[in-house]
Amino acid sequence: MPKISAPTVVEHRKRKRDALLAAATELLVSGGVSAVTPAAVGAAVGLSRPSVYQYFKSAADILAAITEDSFARSNAQLLAALEGLSDPLKVMDAYVRETLRQAAAGAHRPATALSEAELPDECRARVAELHHEQIAPFMSALRQLNVPDLMITAQLLGGMLEAAMRAIESGSDPDAVARTTIALVHAAVRPQE
């Protein structure tokens, strides 16, 4: 019987699964979807391929777990950053700051790798659903501000936010990018005179 590296078997299995998921995420970010195989993920943490199947049924199952895990962590951090805010401009400011903080920390790299991959339709649909949940506070703030052409404005601001994330990932100062992005968001949602 293999030794467990935790106080309980349940905790041991959770730690192993978390380690497999972390390794799979790194493989995804560095090598794309094709790099995420049960054999490669197992090798990254010192487990055999058959052992990986105790935690995940297939490579697709691993990718699904990465999707759920990365969005769940990101969304929880966003909600914490927005907690207690009701003013729509303050919500948008906090949303932008937290999104860009996560970009600086590399938290969006798994989602970017997944969005660029050829995924099964059900996986693409789940990524879209999770992204919709993620942008819900931003959309709600835009609605509260009663911006004209809501969907067009949202798409344009989303594009600006993506450009800001790319700027940070390319080495730009996160604080400067956040200040500029927030100023541009304010200019875009200010009532027209």
Residue ranges of the chain with per-residue pLDDT less than 70:
1-6, 191-193
Together in a domain, 41 and 71: no
Residue 61 lies in a domain: no
Q: pTM for the complete prediction?
A: 0.81
Find the CATH number of the domain harbouring 142. 1.10.357
State which residues form the domain around 42.
1-56
**Cα separation, 132 vs 163, whole angstroms:** 19
Q: Give the DSSP H or E segment for 164.
A: helix 150-169
Q: How many CB atoms sit inside 10 A of residue 152's CB?
A: 10
In the prediction, which pLDDT does 154 show?
A: 95
Find the CATH number of the domain harbouring 4. 1.10.10.60
Together in a domain, 104 and 71: yes
In the prediction, which pLDDT does 124 show?
A: 77
In the prediction, which pLDDT does 1 show?
A: 41
Q: Which of 9, 32, 56 is the last residue of a domain?
A: 56
Domain count, the chain: 2
In the prediction, which pLDDT does 28 show?
A: 85
Per-residue buried b or exposed e for 18-41, using 16+ beta carbons within 10 Å of the residue's own CB: ebbbebbbbbbbeeebebbbbebb
Tens digits of residue pLDDT in 62-79: 888 888 888 888 999 999
